[in-house]
């Protein structure tokens, strides 16, 4: 390629970018002008967009683009000066010109040349009706065929949601070079970056066990030096030779030197681990943020599609969007485009009434579809609301009976919510005849399937005569999933929170047998109970308590309780797809790594529920044993909690007691020291800042006491500075937990790590 060809290719690429940005401005502005043709700001914005495109097309030598933009600019200037009032026909033609400009700017699109003469003739007739007969030729039809809106490809991914770069008319360079640069990378490279950053984050957590080992080694080293001191005193009293005493002194000097090295290494490793985890977290957060795009990206062309579809059906309709800047993962946006398009087309065709019916009902003749996007509890919440007629429930009841989906007497007793669920069945439609828009039986079931593939949910409600409301909830990103991690058969599994209704503790007295199946009663209904160990083909764990840990999962209106051995806690997991060579693994969707580097499998809840139904249909569902008599009478491990805050003290006591530990409390360091000298404990949990004796002094006394030297110690403090952490660990603590990041699972996980479960 010659330098001239390279230069031309670069300019054409810039023109394509310019066209992509400016045609979006034109589409938005023209639809606003359709509602109010005299809006000065929209007329100005559209005129400037057409003028910019004309100049850009002239620079790169695209004559067709110059012609189209010029005639559009003439029309808009005439409207600005009051010489022309924009009608629906003008807006139609200008929107067709907008699509034509995008086609002209799209490499390889040959249809633009065929429609160009027709468009120019149509615009000439609209601008000067008297000259239309002269301008037209017999070969051209009187009206231009509608030009399909051009869908913009989104394969390249921009790292920052900045406006598209424009062409500088004077120098042929990108405008705004002094502002923040926009870099384009492929989605695969960004996925790789996110994967590497997530693994780096997990790897930094693996330093914690090494640091804990160093701390224990340092404590054992100190105990060894104390033992040598005692031995030397005994040898001196027994009159040993100077050679033996010198050798012992040399050993003590070597141990003192190694102690200094060990202390320094432990401090360095602690500081390195803390800094590495902070940087890895920042790297991961930044990589994840790069994948996030504004929700507006999925709306490109949707407002235009709603408007054009309404026009073709004789219904004036507009789309009102709220939350356009809501950030969503690029992959989620791409997968949302198809279901949103279907719901919007469905709302225009089924929901919005013809203008004459709307006027009779006291509504404005123009229908409105509202689309709202927002963040809620780590999910993307979408509401699509139309102000149409709603759903005729009597007609829906009749259709259900006619299709033999349910007996008439049962249908008559169904609630509105139960009736609306039939609309999501495959092939179900209220439309009597097939049209180009709908009625082919590929309806809400396809939408629901696509939303479920996103690990999301969809709900339909309606008010007769006032319209329908679809509420969609999907994850903000497919790269991570908020999950509840549980233990089944000694292995970790994760249930996505989107499918979890709640978690419960079910006692033996609450479990009942109904028709040979186990159920429990909760909030006015029976919930079937199944064992996760049977579903996931894991050995049944020994239940040490009378109550069961149950995760209640929902599928439409159906609830199931899945009994697990332990609730580890809520985690945000980085999804790692399974090797494709494994094929579809039953009941499992993907994998992830926990903070300690261990693998956790993410449960495919829909698949799991199918497994439940299969077990029920074959009668092979196993009974869950309620309690384990062998566990009774076992000694519970004792924990001493030392904290001057009544709230913190009672919170820790309650958490640990509920997990089965025997808990004693002390109000300050002195009270705790007296308790330690008089009773036996398996673990000490202490605050730092306390009256009479602080936590550092308490830990120091514990490590000097020969009886308590091996007692595991955890420091829980509001101070999360590196020097505070080092003070606590240097004093002899085995674990340091900051109250700023304190939550139930962090405390309980740390206790289990130090002393194991509650039963000894």
How much is the average pLDDT of 411-424? Answer: 87
Strands 317-322 and 184-185: unpaired
How much is the average pLDDT of 22-27? Answer: 90
Tokens of 412: 């008559």
Beta strand ranges found along 76-198 (DSSP E): 157-158, 184-185
Q: Which stretches within 679-737 are classed as H helix? A: 695-704, 722-731
Residue 157's contacts (CB-CB under 8 Å, 6 or more residues apart) are 184, 185, 186, 187, 190, 291, 293, 330
3-153 and 480-631 share one CATH topology?
no
Q: How many other CB atoms sit within 10 Å of the CB of residue 411?
A: 18
How much is the average pLDDT of 287-303? Answer: 84
pLDDT(134) > 70: no
Contact 462, 391 (CB under 8 A): yes
Q: What is the mean pLDDT of the chain?
A: 80
> Can you give the pLDDT at residue 154?
38
Q: Which of 467, 465, 471, 412 is nearest to 447 (CA)?
A: 471
Higher-confidence residue of 190 and 563: namely 563
What is the pTM (predicted TM-score) of this model? Answer: 0.58
How far apart CA 15 and CA 235 sit, in angstroms, is 93
Question: Is the torsion defined by CA of 704, 710, 711, 715 positive or negative?
Answer: positive
Q: Which of 168, 133, 170, 144 is nearest to 15 (CA)?
A: 168
Q: Which of 529, 536, 534, 456 is nearest to 492 (CA)?
A: 536
> Can you give the pLDDT at residue 431?
62
> Can you give the pLDDT at residue 440?
33
Element (H, E) at 457: strand 457-463
How much is the average pLDDT of 79-91? Answer: 90
In CATH terms, the fold of domain 480-631 is OB fold (Dihydrolipoamide Acetyltransferase, E2P) (2.40.50)
> Can you give the pLDDT at residue 743?
59
Tokens of 645: 């805050």
Q: Which of 580, 582, 601, 599 is nearest to 590 (CA)?
A: 601
How far apart CA 760 and CA 755 sit, in angstroms, is 9
Domain ranges of the chain: 3-153, 191-292, 300-475, 480-631, 638-755
> Can you give the pLDDT at residue 157?
38
Element (H, E) at 686: strand 683-686
The predicted-structure confidence for 138-171, as pLDDT tens digits, reads as follows 333 333 444 444 444 333 334 333 333 333 333 3
Strands 588-593 and 599-603: antiparallel
Report how far Cα 234 is from the mean position of its chain's Cα atoms. 67
pLDDT(634) > 60: no
> Can you give the pLDDT at residue 166?
38
DSSP lists the bridge partners of residue 601 as 493, 591
Tokens of 211: 């640091």
> Can you give the pLDDT at residue 180?
56
pLDDT(631) > 60: no
pLDDT(619) > 70: no
Question: Class assignment of domain 638-755?
Answer: alpha beta
pLDDT(304) > 60: yes
How much is the average pLDDT of 197-214? Answer: 78
Contact 419, 400 (CB under 8 A): yes
The predicted-structure confidence for 531-588, as pLDDT tens digits, reads as follows 888 888 887 765 556 678 899 987 666 778 998 988 888 887 878 777 777 777 888 8
Higher-confidence residue of 543 and 519: namely 519
How far apart CA 210 and CA 219 sit, in angstroms, is 14
pLDDT(2) > 50: no
Question: Is the torsion defined by CA of 497, 498, 501, 506 positive or negative?
Answer: negative
Q: Torsion over CA of 75, 81, 85 and 86, rounded to 10 degrees?
A: 40
How far apart CA 549 and CA 161 sit, in angstroms, is 45
The predicted-structure confidence for 332-378, as pLDDT tens digits, reads as follows 888 898 899 999 998 999 899 999 999 999 999 999 999 999 988 66
CATH number listed for the domain at residues 3-153: 1.20.120.160
Confidence of residue 115 (pLDDT cuts 50, 70, 90): confident
Confidence of residue 500 (pLDDT cuts 50, 70, 90): confident
How far apart CA 528 and CA 507 sit, in angstroms, is 14
Strands 566-574 and 588-593: unpaired
How much is the average pLDDT of 658-663? Answer: 84
How much is the average pLDDT of 302-330? Answer: 90
Is 300-475 assigned to CATH 3.30.565.10? yes
How far apart CA 736 and CA 714 sit, in angstroms, is 6
pLDDT(185) > 80: no
Which 8-state DSSP code applies to residue 556? Answer: T
How far apart CA 500 and CA 504 sit, in angstroms, is 11
Q: What are phi and psi of 57, to 5 degrees?
A: -65, -35
DSSP lists the bridge partners of residue 561 as 529, 552
Contact 402, 422 (CB under 8 A): no
> Can you give the pLDDT at residue 628?
44
How far apart CA 218 and CA 252 sit, in angstroms, is 15
The predicted-structure confidence for 440-468, as pLDDT tens digits, reads as follows 334 788 888 888 888 788 889 998 888 99
The CA-atom distances, in angstroms, between 232 and each of 227, 238, 253, 407, 707 are 9, 10, 13, 94, 21
Lowest mean pLDDT of 262-276, 288-302, 383-397, 631-645, name the range: 631-645
Contact 668, 683 (CB under 8 A): no
């Amino acid at each position: 390629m010659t330098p001239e060809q390279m230069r031309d290719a670069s300019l054409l690429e810039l023109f394509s970018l310019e066209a992509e940005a400016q045609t979006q401005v034109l589409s938005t502005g023209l639809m606003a002008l359709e509602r109010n043709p005299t809006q000065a700001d929209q007329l100005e914005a559209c005129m400037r967009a057409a003028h910019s495109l004309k100049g850009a097309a002239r620079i790169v030598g695209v004559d067709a683009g110059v012609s189209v933009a010029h005639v559009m600019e003439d029309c808009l200037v005439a409207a600005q000066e009051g010489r022309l009032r924009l009608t629906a026909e003008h807006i139609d033609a200008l929107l067709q010109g907008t699509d034509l400009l995008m086609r002209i700017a799209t490499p390889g699109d040959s249809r633009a040349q065929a429609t160009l003469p027709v468009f120019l003739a149509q615009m000439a007739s609209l601008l000067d009706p008297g000259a239309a007969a002269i301008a037209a030729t017999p070969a051209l039809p009187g009206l231009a065929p509608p030009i399909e809106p051009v869908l913009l490809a989104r394969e390249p991914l921009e790292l920052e949601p900045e406006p598209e770069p424009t062409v500088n008319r004077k120098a042929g360079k990108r405008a705004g070079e002094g502002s923040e640069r926009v870099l384009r990378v492929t989605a695969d490279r960004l996925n790789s970056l996110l994967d590497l950053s997530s693994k780096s984050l997990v790897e930094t957590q693996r330093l914690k066990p090494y640091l804990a080992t160093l701390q224990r080694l340092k404590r054992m080293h100190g105990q060894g030096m104390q033992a040598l001191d005692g031995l030397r005193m005994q040898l001196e009293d027994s009159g040993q030779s100077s050679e033996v005493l010198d050798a012992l002194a040399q050993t003590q000097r070597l141990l003192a030197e190694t102690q200094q090295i060990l202390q320094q290494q432990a401090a360095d490793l602690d500081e390195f681990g803390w800094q590495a985890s902070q940087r890895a977290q920042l790297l991961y957060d930044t990589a994840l943020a790069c994948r996030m795009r504004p929700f507006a990206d999925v709306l490109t062309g949707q407002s235009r599609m709603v408007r054009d579809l309404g026009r073709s059906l004789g219904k004036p309709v507009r789309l009102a969007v709220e939350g356009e800047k809501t950030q969503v993962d690029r992959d989620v946006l791409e997968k949302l485009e198809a279901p949103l398009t279907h719901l919007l087309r469905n709302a225009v065709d089924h929901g919005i009434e013809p203008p004459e019916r709307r006027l009779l009902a006291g509504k404005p003749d123009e229908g409105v579809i509202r689309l709202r996007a927002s963040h809620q509890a780590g999910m993307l919440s979408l509401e699509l609301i139309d102000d149409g007629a709603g759903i005729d429930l009597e007609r829906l009841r009749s259709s259900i009976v006619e299709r033999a989906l349910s007996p008439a007497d049962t249908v008559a007793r169904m609630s509105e919510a139960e009736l609306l669920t039939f609309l999501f069945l495959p092939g179900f439609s209220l439309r009597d005849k097939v049209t180009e828009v709908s009625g082919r039986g590929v309806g809400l079931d396809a939408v629901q399937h696509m939303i479920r593939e996103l690990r999301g949910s969809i709900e339909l409600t309606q008010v007769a005569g006032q319209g329908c409301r679809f509420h969609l909830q999907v994850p903000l990103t497919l790269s991570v999933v908020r999950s509840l991690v549980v233990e089944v058969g000694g292995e970790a599994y994760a249930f996505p929170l989107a499918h979890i209704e709640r978690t419960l503790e079910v006692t033996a007295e609450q479990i009942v047998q109904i028709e040979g199946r186990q159920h429990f009663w909760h909030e006015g209904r029976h919930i079937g109970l199944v064992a996760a160990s049977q579903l996931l083909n894991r050995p049944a764990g020994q239940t040490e308590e009378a109550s069961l840990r149950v995760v209640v999962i929902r599928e439409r209106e159906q609830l199931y309780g899945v009994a697990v051995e332990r609730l580890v806690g809520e985690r945000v997991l980085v999804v790692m797809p399974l090797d494709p060579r494994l094929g579809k693994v039953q009941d499992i969707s993907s994998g992830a790594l926990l903070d300690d580097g261990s693998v956790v499998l993410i449960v495919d809840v829909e698949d799991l529920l199918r497994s439940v139904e299969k077990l029920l249909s074959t009668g092979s569902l196993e009974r869950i044993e309620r309690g384990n008599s062998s566990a009774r009478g076992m000694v519970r491990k004792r924990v001493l909690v030392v904290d001057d805050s009544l709230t913190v003290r009672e919170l820790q006591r309650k958490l640990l007691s509920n997990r089965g530990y025997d808990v004693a409390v002390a109000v300050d360091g002195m009270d705790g020291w007296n308790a330690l000298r008089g009773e036996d404990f398996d673990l000490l949990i202490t605050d730092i800042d306390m009256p009479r004796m602080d936590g550092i002094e308490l830990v120091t006394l514990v490590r000097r006491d020969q009886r308590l030297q091996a007692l595991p110690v955890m420091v829980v403090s509001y101070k999360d500075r590196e020097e505070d952490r080092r003070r606590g660990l240097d004093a002899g603590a085995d674990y340091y937990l900051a109250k700023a990041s304190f939550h139930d699972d962090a405390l309980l996980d740390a206790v289990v790590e130090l002393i194991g479960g509650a039963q000894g």
